[in-house]
């Protein structure tokens, strides 16, 4: 196979996986390891990590390293096969937070999760195994399987992340259009007592009050009014608190605490 044909074959493989290909994937299509090495020596390919290459069509981006690391965990499988795995390996915890652009955590390692068992000797990679991941807990971010925003926040809370960092995660999560406050409270419920409260909604309330942005507090107030159907007097009370916006955050904390208590029984 000529080099031009090799490159064409590699581009076909990588067309659905961000212009990235593994040595093992190339081997399935008849491309030898030596051919890849020669293309890399010529500058036609760039090595992303051991056994993973970037093609000429690849467009550099902030997720390149995590994508290359994810591909390297099952190097023989193509991306569509990875999604069909019984226990798919998905980006989670700190790495998922970074992909979703929530919080201020800096991942010390690439973090993944799977419902099955999985080991790796790769440095800088951590895999959480035997985890229960519902279908709704996994979302596609440009083709990469990642835990949802709510599940990511819940996972980090159960891991015991420092309270201030968790408050930032909650604040940023609730700014996402597809994140519902009750879903977030449900995911936070298992860790609520470790942060000194009884329910997930109470934890959302307290962390929200600790968030530094007045604009965020006002947005949360609006979401609570929209979400709390059937609870008499909530809209009136919250709108009253809204008039005090800008003077101090304390009135908002009290209003959110009242709402959390009314919701509490549903998120124990």
pLDDT for res 242: 56
pLDDT for res 268: 47
Q: Which residues of 16-48 are buried (b: 16+ CB within 10 A; e: fewer)?
A: ebbbbbbbbbbeeeebeeebbeebeeeebbeeb
Start-end of H helices in the chain = 3-14, 23-28, 33-42, 64-73, 79-83, 93-100, 149-158, 163-174, 181-188, 200-210, 214-227, 234-242, 250-263
pLDDT in tens, the chain (268 residues): 677 888 999 999 999 999 999 999 999 999 999 999 999 999 999 999 999 999 988 888 999 999 999 999 999 999 999 999 999 999 999 999 999 999 999 888 999 999 999 989 898 999 999 999 999 999 999 999 999 999 999 999 999 999 999 999 999 999 998 899 999 999 999 999 999 999 999 999 999 888 655 455 566 666 766 665 545 455 555 555 555 555 555 655 666 666 666 666 554 4
pLDDT for res 240: 56
Model pTM score:
0.78
From the centroid of its chain, how far is CA 198?
A: 25
Structural contact between residues 126 and 109, judged by C-beta atoms closer than 8 angstroms? yes
d(CA 212, CA 38): 54
DSSP 36: H
């Amino acid at each position: 196979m000529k080099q031009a044909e090799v490159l064409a074959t590699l581009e076909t493989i990588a067309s659905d996986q961000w212009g990235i290909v593994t040595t093992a994937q190339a081997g399935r299509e008849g491309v030898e390891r030596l051919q890849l090495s020669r293309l890399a020596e010529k500058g036609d390919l760039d090595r992303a990590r051991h056994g993973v290459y970037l093609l000429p069509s690849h467009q550099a981006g902030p997720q390149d390293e995590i994508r290359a690391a994810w591909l390297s965990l099952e190097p023989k499988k193509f991306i569509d096969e990875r999604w069909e795995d019984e226990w798919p390996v998905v980006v989670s915890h700190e790495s998922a937070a970074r992909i979703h652009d929530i919080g201020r955590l800096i991942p010390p390692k690439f973090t993944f999760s799977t419902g099955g068992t999985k080991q790796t000797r790769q440095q800088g990679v951590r895999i959480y195994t035997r985890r229960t991941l519902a279908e709704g807990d996994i979302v596609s971010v440009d083709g990469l399987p990642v835990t949802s925003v709510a599940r990511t926040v819940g996972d980090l809370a159960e891991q015991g992340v420092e309270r201030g960092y968790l408050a930032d995660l909650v604040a940023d999560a609730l700014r996402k259009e597809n994140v519902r406050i009750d879903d977030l409270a449900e995911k936070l419920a298992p860790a609520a007592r470790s942060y000194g409260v009884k329910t997930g909604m109470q934890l959302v309330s307290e962390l929200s009050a600790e968030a530094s942005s007045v604009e965020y507090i006002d947005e949360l107030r609006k979401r609570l009014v929209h979400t709390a159907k059937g609870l008499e007097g909530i809209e009136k009370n919250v709108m009253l608190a809204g008039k005090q916006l800008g003077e101090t955050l304390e009135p908002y904390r009290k209003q959110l605490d009242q709402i959390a208590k009314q919701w509490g029984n549903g998120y124990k």
